[in-house]
A = this chain, B = another copy of it.
Amino acid sequence: MNWNILEKNYNKDDYIKNETIFALANGFLGIRGSFDEGNIIGHDGTYINGFYELNDIKYGEKFKGYPSQGQTMVNVANTKRVNIFFDDEKFDLNTGEIIEYERNLDMREGILKREIKWRSSQGKIIRLIFERFVSFKEKGLIFYKYNIIPLNGSVKVSFESILDGGIRNYSNPDDPRVASTSETVFETIENKTLDDDLYIYQRTKRSKKEYGVYLKHRILKGDLTRKRYYSKDDSSSIIFDFNLRRNESVSIIRNAFYSLGGLNFKLFEYLKEKSEEAYENGYDYYLDYQKKYYSDFWNNCNVEIEGDDKLLQGIRFNMFHILNSTGKDGITNIAAKGLTGEGYEGHYFWDTETYILPFFIYTNPEIAKKLIEFRYNTLDKAKERALQMNHKKGALYPWRTINGYECSSYFPAGTAQYHINCDIAISIKRYFESTNDENLLVKFGAEILFETSRLWMDTGFFIDGEFRINGVTGPDEYTAIINNNYYTNIMVSESLKFSVYVYNFLKKNYNKEFIKLINKIDLMEEEVEEWINASENMFLPYDKKLQINAQDDSFLSKPVWDLEKEKNFPLLLHYHPLVLYRYQVCKQADLILAEVLLNYKFDKKQIKKDYDYYEKITTHDSSLSTCIFSIAANYIGYLEKAYNYFMMTARTDLDNHHGNTKDGIHAANMAGTWLGLTMGFGGMKVYNDNIYFEPKVPKAWKKYSFKILYKSRRIKVEVDKQYIKYSLEKGDPVNIYHFNKHILLQSSYKLKNR
């Protein structure tokens, strides 16, 4: 069962949440797991990665540098909707009687299947089988398949296939985590009905983004008695009528092809041709590719856990959705909610670099590279943003964006999170250390590094020889606009150091490209010297009395929020920000995150002291927190805590821990699960041109395993109570370290577990 998500009953209360759980996507196109036949509840959705509408951000008081336009991922035309009538009675799970019900998401193939035995109020018993998948072979393609069999007598079946361009986004003005308004964003340019096909071509009103979709139908089986067409401004449908006798089936395949449009692009001709090709190749052809694609994916990154199937299911579910939701073309990224819902308006955050990239770096570096490329492609906009924010030079990446422009409207927990800049820089470092991909540094990395480094020099300042950074917000959003956030400062220090390394590396090894680059961006040697100076003399707040690192300059002077007595979680929905800012209370890992990401810089004793202090005041109201606490707990030998936090992380969406899975998956948290397993229990660290493991097994598990791609080698790590085994599944022999013991891994190596 751990390769599948099974739903055995239709439960109306879970429906909206399950639209997210059963969502499918391929990184370009995503559809929510809504019922084909619709439902009076729920919020159906179809999304194209990077496809957004612009909107005015309204402010009661607007200040200099506030972004005036926001971007919202739009819900595009729905192709999954059908209406099915049996003797003119509409099939609907909320009426009639459900005799059997099963929904099954197969994560090895990416196919969602639903089998139902239903009795209409007129007493007709029907078996219905629904299948769908979003193709990895053709990124615009979705297949839907239907099988309908009357089981207790003849029935007239009307099957209406709908192409609905009249959709809207979901909104809730009182929840800061979802969009506040919803309007029709499209104008329909073409809306056609042709033989058995439907076509729509729409353009967003403000961003002027175009897309179209072409929907074809193939009746595999069934006696068609009549065909009817309907068309409105922004939707159309075909109704196929059948007369079925008992046990006679109708089988229909619908293939929908989505594509972006654009100037001089013959969208209709393109889509018609692609759709016909898909029609000709057929369902099974794409399904075979689908199986192969997922098989390769799992082969690179599969994990196993013996002793807890539900947990294993959760981990795989997370990896599955991360793969599906991630843009892989260098011009799109992965939204906080992936392509599964509209929470956070489809925006990309630091989640990508800090949580999701490591997963791809160590399992599929080609995708990681594409995500870094996205940042390169938006570097010019980040430079523009730096100027808007009164910086003389450098780049300031947006806290939330789709197209590269900042669109966070509450700057204390938005733009003020300057750490996005060092998160990106450190992720390049991480990528490079694990891949040695010099090409990325030369083509993209160096320029990003240099421009973000520049920004820090213009943000911070030297005082008494120390470099300080004022007026930023760290990862913890319950503490805002503070001075010398430990996380930010140490991440900046490391990123500046890496910039200097890359500067020297390119100068020596890629001098031609180096010269070209420093000329392009006018980089002076003195600037680099300042980076060294700032990096080496970075101020890091420390409390001598408590002997802990301080989250920022003023954090420890505040009163402690009594979380033991607190009942109103998440605090942000119950307390005004000002109240939160007055206390020592953290939404999420902040200092502890620095200690996890830059683990090689901290000794365990210090991490333990810090952990003991900060754990007590952390609410984990952000889903980005528990995985980090799990990893840190593993470092310092708090195995039970490590296990408990990991368990809270692994099934966050499957078990709806935050109560808002309906708005989409928690993508960063999902990747965090994998980090928790590998960096936490596996004790995997990459630094100083080496890879280290310190595996531990939680009591509850018999055995677990994971795989790491490191410098083109695939290393499998298997851990049980007695033994730890390292296998080289791919690539040349490689040096690894096991609890500081050096091993030259040639094929496999087995050690006793301590």
Contacts and interface: CB of A to CB of B under 8 A. Distances in A.
Interface of A: 57-66, 70, 173-174, 176, 180, 388-390, 408-416, 459, 461, 463, 468, 470-472, 480-481, 483, 553-554, 557-559, 572-579, 581-583
Given A461-B559, A483-B557, A63 B572 contact: yes
Contact of A578 (B174, B415, B553, B582): B415
B581 A471 contact: yes
A481 B552 CA distance: 15
A554 B388 CA distance: 26
B65 A575 contact: yes
B470 A576 contact: no
A559 B463 contact: yes
Contacts of A557: 463, 468, 470, 483, 553
Nearest to A576: B65
A560 B579 CA distance: 29
Nearest to A181: B58
Given A481-B480, A557-B483, A579 B389 contact: yes
A539 to B, nearest CB: 10
A174 B65 contact: no
A579 B390 CA distance: 7
Given A59-B410, A60-B180, A62-B173, A483 B558 contact: yes
B576 A390 contact: yes
9 contacts: A61-B408, A62-B176, A62-B180, A63-B576, A389-B576, A390-B574, A390-B576, A470-B581, A553-B557
- Tell me the interface secondary structure of chain A in the complex: loop
A273 B152 CA distance: 85
Contact of A409 (B61, B174, B468, B559): B61
B409 A578 contact: no
A582 B63 CA distance: 16
Contacts of A389: 576, 578-579
Nearest to A553: B554
Given A481-B578, A553-B557, A59 B412 contact: no
A70 B60 CA distance: 9
A554 B173 CA distance: 35
Contacts of A578: 65, 389, 411, 415-416, 471-472, 481
A59 B56 CA distance: 11
A174 B68 CA distance: 10
Contacts of A176: 59, 61-63
Given A471-B582, A483-B557, 16 more contacts: A58-B58, A58-B60, A59-B410, A60-B408, A60-B410, A61-B409, A62-B180, A64-B572, A64-B574, A64-B577, A65-B579, A411-B576, A412-B481, A416-B578, A470-B557, A481-B481
A501 to B, nearest CB: 28
Contacts of A581: 470-471, 481
A64 B580 CA distance: 11
A616 B582 CA distance: 30
Contacts of A63: 176, 410, 572, 576-577
A65 B480 CA distance: 17
B573 A64 contact: yes
Nearest to A462: B559
A470 B582 contact: yes
A349 to B, nearest CB: 13
A412 to B, nearest CB: 7
B559 A390 contact: no
Nearest to A413: B61
A581 B577 CA distance: 17
Contact of A410 (B57, B61, B70, B559): B61
A-B residue pairs, 3 tightest by C-beta: A60-B409, A65-B576, A58-B58
Contacts of A415: 576, 578
Nearest to A62: B176
Which of A180, A390, A415, A483: most chain B CB closer than 10 A? Answer: A390
A173 B575 CA distance: 29
Which of A70, A409, A461, A578: most chain B CB closer than 10 A? Answer: A578
A576 B270 CA distance: 47
A57 B59 CA distance: 8
Contacts of A410: 59-61, 63
Contacts of A65: 575-579
Given A410-B59, A575-B390, A470 B64 contact: no
A582 to B, nearest CB: 4
Given A463-B559, A576-B388, A59 B58 contact: yes
Nearest to A345: B60
A52 to B, nearest CB: 15
Contacts of A470: 557-559, 581-583
B411 A180 contact: no
A462 to B, nearest CB: 9
A711 to B, nearest CB: 41
A174 B65 CA distance: 11
Contacts of A411: 576-578
Contacts of A57: 60
A554 B459 CA distance: 17
Contacts of A554: 483, 553-554
A548 B471 CA distance: 23
A411 B61 CA distance: 10
Contacts of A582: 459, 470-471
Nearest to A178: B61
Contacts of A461: 559
A64 B559 contact: no
A234 to B, nearest CB: 27
A281 to B, nearest CB: 45
A54 to B, nearest CB: 13
Contacts of A575: 64-65, 390
A576 to B, nearest CB: 3
A38 to B, nearest CB: 31
Contacts of A64: 572-577
A97 B289 CA distance: 85
Which of A174, A574, A577: most chain B CB closer than 10 A? Answer: A577
A249 to B, nearest CB: 51
A471 B581 CA distance: 6
Contacts of A58: 58-60, 180
A654 to B, nearest CB: 28
Contacts of A61: 176, 180, 408-410, 413-414
Nearest to A57: B60
Which of A63, A390, A408: most chain B CB closer than 10 A? Answer: A63
Contacts of A483: 554, 557-558
A572 B64 CA distance: 7
A483 B411 CA distance: 20
A483 B578 CA distance: 12
Contacts of A573: 64
